[in-house]
Structure 1
């Protein structure tokens, strides 16, 4: 079987980078994106010759088309680019809110729009969108993030209908204990989150990577949101 090409938007660091590495480890080719082309190329070189890099900024959708112009046929697309922002209603910063809304709801859609004619129109082609558990486990200041991630769930359903037979699914991670964002948090904070899961453990980046590969490859699933949170929703 010939190597496939998977595009990972937001693949230069964190979970996106782990996904990109796993794609190559499976013998496929990966195209990673970051905001800075030189850095993205440096990261791609560290992954190996099966990795190439492009530069896009989803918060500026007009960069998406030119940034992805060099990408050829695509067998799978993972949009893992995210930003975090605590933006309370009492101290509302609408510029930050607009940036996040644009990044996920407009930037994600524009990426798919740009690549649609290069996505193999087959049930073996999967698109994976990243949301997050803040959509139904809010925290103070999460109004924008919670709303956007709820929007990702809505996008997943409508895009699965519009793009069939290409499959579209969403992944909503909980707290990923060994991710760069969470690994440096105080132990007491992590222990508090662990105590909320049935098994006393947090999700890992390996858990997320495994779920992404499942959604990319399993022909039987589309229009579905999957939670990777070690069961925190049942406690």
Structure 2
């Protein structure tokens, strides 16, 4: 199979980095982006000769097109950039809410807009956007997070229709037990979450990467939202 080019927005850490690392290992070319160009370049260097890094701040959508101007043909796009925002309504921080809404909804959409001329109009071309289970499982302070993750679900449905035959899907991870954020939690916290899944397990980073790769390659899946949460929804 010929090498493909994958753009991973938010690919300098966490799940985005694991997705980029897997793609490079498979022989694909990868463009990773992060808020800071120097950091993105450093991460790309660790991935090898088939990777390069670009600075892209999704919360500054008017700058996105210029930041991505020299990206050439794109076979797959993963929008994995997230920010965690505990923002309760009673102590509502408007500036933080505006940043997250802009990043996740306007920023994601503007990346697609900027790269669309370089994406082949084919079912072989896939877009995957990260939402999260907070859309269905809110928690205190998750007002903005739950809202934007629900927005991602709506966004991929309209993109799947508007961009067809290009495919657009969303992935909504649950608790990813070995991710940097969750692995730092006390063991008893993770044990409590495990007890709430049918299998008694938590999703892993490898599980999420595998699910993203499935959504990128499967020609028959578009407009879908895939939960990767070990069945948390049914308990």
What is the TM-score with the length of structure 1 in the denominator? 0.99
Partner in structure 1 of residue 135 of structure 2: 135
SS at structure 2 position matched to 1:90? helix
- The one-character-per-residue Cα deviations of 1:76-126 (angstroms, maximum 9, x if unpaired) are 000000001110011111110000000001000000000000011111000
| Structure 2 residue 195 is the aligned partner of structure 1 residue 187 | no
Distance 2:172 2:109 in 1: 17
SS at structure 1 position matched to 2:227? strand
- Which ranges in structure 2 are unaligned for 5 or more consecutive residues? none
Distance 2:175 2:60 in 1: 27
Aligned residue runs from structure 1 range 55-94, under 5 A: 55-94=55-94
- The one-character-per-residue Cα deviations of 1:23-80 (angstroms, maximum 9, x if unpaired) are 0111111000011111111100100101011110001112211110110000000000
| Structure 2 residue 217 is the aligned partner of structure 1 residue 217 | yes
What is the TM-score with the length of structure 2 in the denominator? 0.99
Distance 2:208 2:199 in 1: 17
Distance 1:63 1:228 in 2: 32
Runs of 4 or more consecutive aligned structure 1 residues displaced over 2 Å after TM superposition = none
Distance 1:37 1:95 in 2: 24
Aligned residue runs from structure 1 range 1-235, under 5 A: 1-235=1-235
Distance 1:214 1:76 in 2: 12
Distance 2:39 2:56 in 1: 12
CA RMSD of aligned residues (A): 0.6
- Which ranges in structure 1 are unaligned for 5 or more consecutive residues? none
Distance 2:2 2:124 in 1: 14
